[in-house]
Amino acid sequence: MNHLDKLEAQSVHILREAYREFKSICMLWSIGKDSTVLLWLARKAFFGHVPIPLVHVDTHFKIPEMIQYRDDLAFKWKLTMIYGENSKAILEKNTFPDGKIDRISCCKALKSEALKNTLSGEWDRYIMDLTTGKYIPDINRDRYTGVIVGVRADEEGSRSKERYFSPRDKENDWDVGDQPPEFWNQYKTDFAPGTHVRIHPLLDWTELNIWEYIERENIPITSLYFDRGSGKRYRSLGCYPCTTPVESTATNVSEIIEELKSGKFANIAERSGRAQDKDDGGGLETLRRDGYM
């Protein structure tokens, strides 16, 4: 087995554990390359099927191609596609792009809050009708007790401390100091009522592994990652007001891999294009404790 086979086998094992153990489970799909690899791994684990609903938190400031790509793929692969949002903040224009609040508060409102209430079923959820491709209100309001997330340990400090199965309390809080032990492929799958578990099948993958796997499996990803003539491409996807493309002329997966291995990005952190990380010292960490992915 090569290193990608090993990573794949481990992720598949974790996905199957999660699917068996949690009755109400979902997978967060950010449309980015990592969670799309995760979606692909689910198809590996379940032999072409995706028996787990995909949840996307729509901030309404996502790069438009992302939403188009999401809906096209969901329709084609017959996914149970669900999205949630902070409709109040969006309606009242209580956002950073509207000039009312700072970046961190905006992330908190449009992502963390929206996510928390979408997962708990307290706010409305919308599900794709696979006959029409349109979204309709989701009648299921159950709290998701298992949430599969595509974070990687190499992204930044706090993520490197994550468990594969990571419990969160009722307030979505993550107690970094008191995490469950994990060994011999045995994970925390028993949980007290009201708590839920985040599941991280991609924890051991690096950015390079993700691209190598996309190339090997020929996984369709959004073209925003490639230079389409402007000499720029996105390395990490998010909301357009806070995510800037990087200077790069990579037009396909193998050029990106080359760039990561030996080129200009070999030593530059992946999230360097994400403005909210820089706004305070432990920016992402503060957000993460609050439920941000």
The footprint of other proteins (CB under 8 A) covers: 1, 3, 5-6, 8-10, 12-13, 16-17, 19-23, 43-49, 51, 78, 153-154, 156-158, 160-161, 163, 176-177, 179-186, 188, 190-192, 204, 206, 217, 267-269, 272, 281-282, 285
Nearer to other proteins, 1 or 139 (CB): 1
Q: Give the nearest distance from C-beta 267 to other proteins in angstroms.
A: 4
d(CA 169, CA 173): 5
d(CA 213, CA 228): 22
Rounded to 5°, angle at Cα 57 from 217 and 39: 15
Nearer to other proteins, 57 or 147 (CB): 147
Q: Give the nearest distance from C-beta 258 to other proteins in angstroms.
A: 16
Question: Who's near 272: CB < 8 A, 6+ residues apart?
Answer: 235, 246
Q: Are 125 and 142 in contact (CB under 8 A)?
A: no
Nearer to other proteins, 37 or 110 (CB): 37
Nearer to other proteins, 87 or 160 (CB): 160
Intra-chain end-to-end CA distance of the chain, in Å:
31
Q: Give the nearest distance from C-beta 289 to other proteins in angstroms.
A: 10
Q: Give the nearest distance from C-beta 103 to other proteins in angstroms.
A: 18
d(CA 226, CA 230): 10
Q: Give the nearest distance from C-beta 205 to other proteins in angstroms.
A: 10
Question: Who's near 29: CB < 8 A, 6+ residues apart?
Answer: 35, 36, 38, 39, 54, 55, 56, 70
Two tokens, residue 218:
């020929």
Q: Are 168 and 291 in contact (CB under 8 A)?
A: yes
Nearer to other proteins, 49 or 93 (CB): 49
Q: Give the nearest distance from C-beta 215 to other proteins in angstroms.
A: 13
Q: Are 210 and 226 in contact (CB under 8 A)?
A: no
Nearer to other proteins, 84 or 201 (CB): 201
The dihedrals phi and psi of 187, each to the nearest 5 degrees, come to: -120, 170
Nearer to other proteins, 45 or 54 (CB): 45
Could you tell me which of 74, 69, 78 has the C-alpha nearest to residue 222? 69
d(CA 277, CA 286): 10
Q: Give the nearest distance from C-beta 37 to other proteins in angstroms.
A: 13
